[in-house]
Amino acid sequence: MAALIEAEEAGDRLTEDELAAMVFLLLAAGHETTLHQIALSVLTLLDHPQQLAELTADWRLGDSAAQELLRYVSFAQVSKPRYAREDTEFHGQPIRRGEMLFACLAAANSDPRVFADPERLDLHRQPNRHLAFGAGIHVCLGAKLARVETAIALERLFTRFPDVHLAVPRSDLRYSVRPGTRGLLELPVRW
């Protein structure tokens, strides 16, 4: 961000609006999402020691595991807003032109018509057509990067600290109350 601000101050290479947009992208879209996703993934794996053991025995499972963790517990619970272009109806619910809508991605990710046994974490799940990154023309631009980051972070953490475990009772963990997201306020661990 310092480099971006320097570029902006050095002349006309970035407008102030472009700078604000880039900072938002780096912090909110790029950093916050991934850090929460990694923490949620660590917690989920600690909750499923059998699956964690399989993963640590063969890190080639890393990408598939990151995908399933995104499906099973995702930071972004809803899509970005969409606006109805005309009066319509969805599953019996009337929607008026101009109304703002959010798709509940977390619900789609546990749809039993798409995922066999959706409440079960299955790091081998194939295919895994989850919607944790949304869909359509506004699908997450950083999806590939986030998957790679998550897989690398899990491998580094559990390789370096194989005995990592929660430092507080599971029931003491607190979540942020920001609508549309599911993020841990903190994840205290020992190793």
User: Closest distance between ligand HEM and the C-beta of residue 171, in Å?
Assistant: 25
Type of residue numbered 56:
T
Q: Which is nearer to ligand HEM, 9 or 110 (CB)?
A: 110
The count of residues in the chain is 191
Euclidean distance between CA atoms 152 and 41, whole angstroms: 12
Q: Environment class of residue 85 by beta-carbon count within 10 Å: exposed (0-12), middle (13-18) or buried (19+)?
A: exposed
Of 191, 154, 157, 6, the residue nearest 68 (C-alpha): 154
Q: Which is nearer to ligand HEM, 23 or 53 (CB)?
A: 23
User: Closest distance between ligand HEM and the C-beta of residue 102, in Å?
Assistant: 8
Kindly give, in sequence order, each residue whose CB lies less than 8 Å from that of residue 111, ignoring residues fewer than 6 positions away: 118
Q: Which is nearer to ligand HEM, 121 or 132 (CB)?
A: 132
Q: Which is nearer to ligand HEM, 11 or 136 (CB)?
A: 136
Residues engaged in binding ligand HEM (CB under 6 A): 25, 29-30, 33-34, 37, 74-76, 79-80, 105, 132-136, 138-142, 145-146
User: Closest distance between ligand HEM and the C-beta of residue 183, in Å?
Assistant: 10
User: Closest distance between ligand HEM and the C-beta of residue 155, in Å?
Assistant: 16
Helix (H, G, I), strand (E, B) or coil at 10: coil
How many Å from the N-terminal Cα to the C-terminal Cα in the chain? 33
